[in-house]
Every structure is written in C-alpha cells, then in structure tokens.
Amino acid sequence: MLVTGVTGFVGSAVARRLMEMGISTFGLTRKKLGETPFHLSGIHLKTCLTFGVDELESLLTMVQPDVIVHLAAAGVTAGGNDFDQLMNGNITYTLNLVQAASNAGCKAILHTGSCFEYAAVDERKLAEQDLVHPFSLYGSTKAASVQLAIGLARHLDVDLTVLRLFGVYGDGEVAQRLLPTLIRGLASHQPIDLTDGTQVRDWMYIDDAAQAFCAAVLHLDQLLPYTIYNLCTGIGHSVREVGETLAAEMGRPQSLLRWGTKPNRRGEPAMIVGDPKRFQDATGWRPHFDLKQGIQFCLRRGQNSMTAAA
C-alpha cells in the first residue's frame, strides 16, 4: 500500500489506520523529514523530490504497491490560490502518478476528489451525478484532475476510482482552519470574529474519514473503476452549530462567538452536504461519530497531546 500526502492531516490518519490493520504501508513525501515523526512511526517513508514521471516510476517499481491511495493535494488550506501550485499539485502530480503507475505495473489507484468540485445546490444533498461547476480555483483544479485522471487511467488500463471527500475535522488540523481557530480563542477567553455562521456543511470526524478510506481499500473489488463516490456523512450542520457545540463542550460563554462580524466569502455556497449512499452500498461503511462526539474526542485528544508534550 502506498499513501501520497502522508504528512498531511488526512493522509497521516489513513496511513496510521492501514498500519494498525496490519497492512504494510509506504508513505510518499516530497522532502526528507530527518527523524520520522512520532505519529508516522511504523510507516515506511519514501522521498520523491520532484514528483516527475521517471522518479515516481522508479519508486513504484521498487515498492510495487497493490493500491495507491492518492491524498496529496495543493490548496486545501485557506488562502491556497497560487495558480502554479494548484496546477502542479493537483493536476500535473496526479497525471504523472497515473502514468508512472502504468509504467511500473501498479494497477489500482484511489484518487481523492473534493466536494468543492460541485455546483452550488441549496436544500438537498449532492449526488455524484450532480453538475460540476466549482466556485473556487482549488475546486476547479480538483475537478480537472478528476476528469483528466479518469481519462488517462482508462487509456492506460489502470483502475482508478475517485473518492470525492467532503469536510473533515479533528485533532491534527492545521492551525488556520475553523476548529483550531475556535479552540484557541475559546481556550484563551478571547472574542472571535466570525461570519454569520449560516453555512451548512457535511462534517466528518478524522477517524471516520480514515476508516472510510480503509473500507475503500478492503472493498476495492466492489468499487467500479472510473467512477466517483462521495465520501461524507450525509448530515449537515451549520458553522454556527459547530461553534456553539464547541463552546458548550469547553464551558465557555457563547458571547465569545461574534457571529456576523466578518463578511461571508463571496460566491460561497450556502449548503455543501453529500449523499453517501453509493459508497455505503458498495463498502458497508458508516460514520461512527456524530458532531458532538467528534468534538469531544478532538478536545480530549488535544488535551492528552498537550499533557504528553509537557
């Protein structure tokens, strides 16, 4: 098994879960990490400096993974609008990986798409056959990567399946994302300027996301190649609901959450919630954590990490 983006939030969680299941797992990084980080211990890390076809082919020929789980992406965090980085990280890298996999005889790839590929749809869940019409540059490059990767993989006779990932949260997120920002502000009793919080999103706890990718690996024969599957809970919660749940769990006053003091992002869809039925029917996977449970585990693990560091 090979996981790209292994140092990222979702990639590291997926690689750890695969390893815990007894599956020999290689992780692909773009820079040498020196000493292996504790959270990646047990994972065989391989460095690929350029992500060019030749270098990827050489690495894949050596590792010969049964499945490549492609989780590396550019622009996932806020402010990721550098066009060259998005093109290289989301499109060129993906197509090089498909070409290298074909050359090296690796025949199965799980490629990660994004809910931000979809057109805005209010008041219903997004299904895989819905219109693709991204509102962001990130979503546009992810949509392009999906269509081009499917076309190239079909041409090269590589089985490539797309898992279109919705919102993932939990311990280990980068600092500028919503949940870490809220936790820092509430922990220090500082007021937090926020949008109106009416945006409804499909929130999946990181453990559920990791387990979903593992379910895809274990049930790969049930997933159709060149087909897209939503990876989501199918349940929508507003940003305001997330903030208020977090404040209640931390025992902080709701007044610290200053809703409506920041403008909403221009063009941002009011609702992004997916329909997980196609993936659930194929794999039997179901999310284990509801929003409150996920937030509780996130806070508990964060406190444990700080205690261990001390």
Q: Which of 144, 128, 77, 169 is nearest to 275 (CA)?
A: 128
Angle, nearest 10°, between helix axes 53-63 and 93-104?
Answer: 50
Whether residue 307 is predicted with pLDDT greater than 50 in this model: the reply is no
Whether the full predicted model's pTM is greater than 0.85, yes or no, is: yes
The DSSP secondary structure of 185-220, one letter per residue, reads HHHTT--EE------EEEEEEHHHHHHHHHHHHHTG
Q: Check the CA dihedral 99-54-41-174 and report its sign.
A: negative
- Which residue bears the tokens 């622009």? 75
Mean pLDDT, to the nearest integer, of 273-279?
Answer: 98
Contact criterion met (CB below 8 Å) for 260 and 195:
yes
Q: Which of 26, 5, 28 is nearest to 75 (CA)?
A: 5
pLDDT, tens digit, 9 for 90 and up, residues 156-194: 999 999 999 999 999 889 899 999 999 999 999 999 999
Whether residue 309 is predicted with pLDDT greater than 50 in this model: the reply is no
Contact criterion met (CB below 8 Å) for 239 and 260:
no
pLDDT, tens digit, 9 for 90 and up, residues 191-216: 999 999 999 999 999 999 999 999 99
Token representation of residue 177: 């994302």
Contact criterion met (CB below 8 Å) for 159 and 153:
yes
Of 30-34, 156-160, 223-227, least confident by mean pLDDT is: 30-34
What is the identity of the amino acid at 129?
Answer: Q
Dump strand ranges (E) for 48-169. Answer: 68-70, 108-114, 159-165, 167-169
pLDDT, tens digit, 9 for 90 and up, residues 62-104: 999 999 999 999 998 755 678 999 999 999 999 999 999 999 9
Q: Which of 228, 241, 172, 174 is nearest to 205 (CA)?
A: 172
